[in-house]
Amino acid sequence: MPWPQNLQDFQKLIHQLIEYNQQVPVVVEGQRDVESLKRLGLTGEILKLHTGKTIHDFCEELAQRHPQFILLIDWDERGNDLLTKIGRHLETGWQEFSYFRTGLITLCGKNLQEVEDLASWFESLQAEAEASTPYLEDKH
């Protein structure tokens, strides 16, 4: 996919994520993931999975507190294994939002597999787009 289209698709997906995050919490692995999503503009609740609790305890508390949530777990091998484990503990509440993770996997490919790198990746795409935009002189 050419990067201008990639940039536009990424912006659309992130805009949707920002909108949903106003009402629906996003679950990530750690603090760097939280920071990356905030740099992208998320202002709603972002929950860290790695807080010292077991996956089972985290999932139980999550399901009790939130009827819906967005799981944004890394898509490397470790993240995929973690998502499988989380999925075993959570029966509902997240499946309808799985397109956010799937969309990011499609847009970022194998070059980027961690949520913590999303903001930097987006910033570099924006810089590339700005650098390649032809400068138009004002002819007035």
Domain boundaries, the chain: 3-129
Give the tens place of pLDDT for each residue, 50-90: 999 999 999 999 999 999 999 999 999 999 999 999 988 98
Work out the average pLDDT over 20-24: 97
Confidence grade of residue 1 (pLDDT, cut at 50, 70, 90): very low
Residue 125 is predicted with a pLDDT of 82
Give the tens place of pLDDT for each residue, 98-110: 999 999 999 887 7
Least Cα distance to 119 among 35, 46, 47 occurs for 35
Q: Quick one: what percent of the chain has pLDDT higher than 90?
A: 69
Average pLDDT, the chain: 89
Least Cα distance to 29 among 90, 74, 85, 92 occurs for 74
Cα–Cα distances in angstroms (integers) from residue 99 to residues 41, 55, 71, 87, 95, in the given order: 19, 22, 10, 15, 8
Q: Domain 3-129: give its CATH code.
A: 3.40.1360.10
